[in-house]
Amino acid sequence: LKSMLSDPSLLQTQAFINNQWVDGENGATFDVSNPARGDVIAQVADLSRADLARAIDGAEAAQKKWAALTAKERCNILRNWYNLMMEHQSDLAMILTAEMGKPLTEAMGEISYGASFVEFFAEEAKRNYGETIPGHQADKRITVIKQPIGVAASITPWNFPNAMITRKAAPALAAGCAFVARPSELTPLSALALGVLAQRAGLPAGILQIVPSNDASASGKEFCENSKVRKLTFTGSTRVGRILLGQAAEQVKKCSMELGGNAPFIVFDDAVLDEAVIGAMACKFRNNGQTCVCANRIYVQAGVYEEFTKRFKVAVEAMKVGDGFAGADLGPLISKPALAKVEDHIADALSKGAVVATGGKPHDLGGTFFEPTILTGVTQDMTVSKEETFGPMAPLFKFENVDDVIAMANDTIFGLAAYFYAKDLSRVYKVAEALEYGIIGVNTGIISTEVAPFGGVKQSGLGREGSRHGMDEYLELKYICMSV
Ligand code: ADP
């Protein structure tokens, strides 16, 4: 991997603490492997809880000075960081594909998406406006200011090894917080590369700590139990989100949670079918189906069901599966358990009457490659209607009318993203309002952008990322009441 990079120094395997590259106290390491080939590509420092505590101490010691800079000074450093990320986009993308498996073009896209948060929040730092409120008594003057929470800590997943970190770190740093990032044990290299560039950008020591650790549970406990951490931000499964919220309750710690989804994708009979196919392809198969906003249930109205299925199948069968470095459309799944989950969902659906329209089994390439799959005749009693598959399997449900499909779409504990294709304007409004989701895509399958608030309702999470609302997650309101 190193030999492929134009700047090999981006490939770091030690932890990044106080602008130093360091091993953990035990000198332990863990292996990082390439999911396309299964070979070990790096051995990364495996930090203990005590190491994490030291990183938190460093962050706490540095934070107040960082917060005392002007917003413009923080902005300039973040802006440098953004520029460096874009300058090194190819190298960052290669590191990402090597450890995560997504096609290189998608990895390039993720780097610019990840960098866009840094750019956006660099600008937004200067617009951290408070407010003045007319006093409640003649002598009273009321001012509301926004102040950084303090030290924020993150736990992030493997599916977006770069962007899931910048989406949190950029608003935190812009707000004046210090940030301790514990990347997924499967994809720490992309995170560490961000550290290299942050230092070059001029970020003071301690403001961004990157602490790889193989023991996720210990990291979560340290972040929840260490009172110097004032904010925990997590992206991952609802299962782990519940654990962390439970642990955080002890100190009433502020939390943001981006958790699982179970996105419905609805095709109404007035949809432009070719556009709906394009949207479904992008939405279902991006990152090989491994995003929390991927279409998980595709509902198609009876009158267009056959035709949609036919056109969708042509598009799915045109996709190429393979190594992310070899121009594939779909890379491998992240792990064996991920593959087993896709197989389970398919077996369950078939046992209850669904039919394979294409794909349906592991790919001939072996490893964790899987054939892009369509199932037809899928119904609400099947596991896939309740759980995220997180893989390249598209289940097609048939529905008759609007009320039925809204009820089915909302029949889940999740509420992250939902999509639908329709042209009738009153239907568009009614359906958009009735879907119990934080994000709605209408006639589009791609909704992620730094300028809009991303986040879920119900058990998909708490808080928002991106947009000016994303900054509020790292700020406290302080109300000052003055008698004159
Ligand atoms: P995914 O299914 O996307 O892997 P997880 O919720 O299992 O979702 O993982 C998301 C992140 O949470 C990863 O970095 C993982 O290491 C971490 N994690 C897993 N279990 C725990 C835990 N008990 N406490 C804290 N973090 C955890």
237 lines ligand 1 (CB under 6 A): yes
Query: How far is ligand 1, taken at its centre, from the CA of residue 240, in Å?
Result: 6
Residue nearest to atom 9 of ligand 1 (CA): 236
Residue nearest to atom 7 of ligand 1 (CA): 237
Query: How far is ligand 1, taken at its centre, from the CA of residue 296, in Å?
Result: 21
pTM, entire model: 0.98
Q: Which residues of the chain have pLDDT under 50?
A: none
Let me know if 258 is a catalytic residue. Answer: yes
DSSP H or E run through 133? strand 131-133
pLDDT at 305: 98
20 lines ligand 1 (CB under 6 A): no
Which candidate, 116, 123, 124, 120, places its Cα nearest to that of 89? 116
Mutation probe of ligand 1 site: the residue of 155, 180, 233, 238 with most atoms within 8 A of C-beta:
155
Find the distance separating the first CA and the last CA of the chain, reported in whole Å: 66
pLDDT at 218: 98
pLDDT at 129: 97
Q: What is each CA distance from 88 to 6, 93, 163, in whole angstroms?
A: 9, 9, 15
pLDDT at 7: 98
What residues form DSSP beta bridges with 418? Answer: 440
pLDDT at 2: 92
pLDDT tens per residue, range 131-187: 999 999 999 999 999 999 999 999 999 999 999 999 999 999 999 999 999 999 999
pLDDT at 432: 98
Residue nearest to atom 3 of ligand 1 (CA): 236
292 lines ligand 1 (CB under 6 A): no
What residues form DSSP beta bridges with 321? Answer: 330
Whose structure tokens read 């301690």?
206
Query: How far is ligand 1, taken at its centre, from the CA of residue 317, in Å?
Result: 33
157 lines ligand 1 (CB under 6 A): yes
161 lines ligand 1 (CB under 6 A): no
Contact in structure between 304 and 313 (CB atoms under 8 Å): no
Contact in structure between 300 and 397 (CB atoms under 8 Å): yes
pLDDT tens per residue, range 243-282: 999 999 999 999 999 999 999 999 999 999 999 999 999 9
pLDDT at 272: 98
The phi, psi pair for 187, rounded to 5°, reads -140, 60
pLDDT at 462: 98
pLDDT at 203: 98
CB count within 10 Å of CB 148 equals 24
> How far is residue 144's CA from residue 347's CA, in Å, rounded to a whole number?
57
pLDDT at 317: 98
CB count within 10 Å of CB 311 equals 17
pLDDT at 480: 98
> How far is residue 103's CA from residue 4's CA, in Å, rounded to a whole number?
16
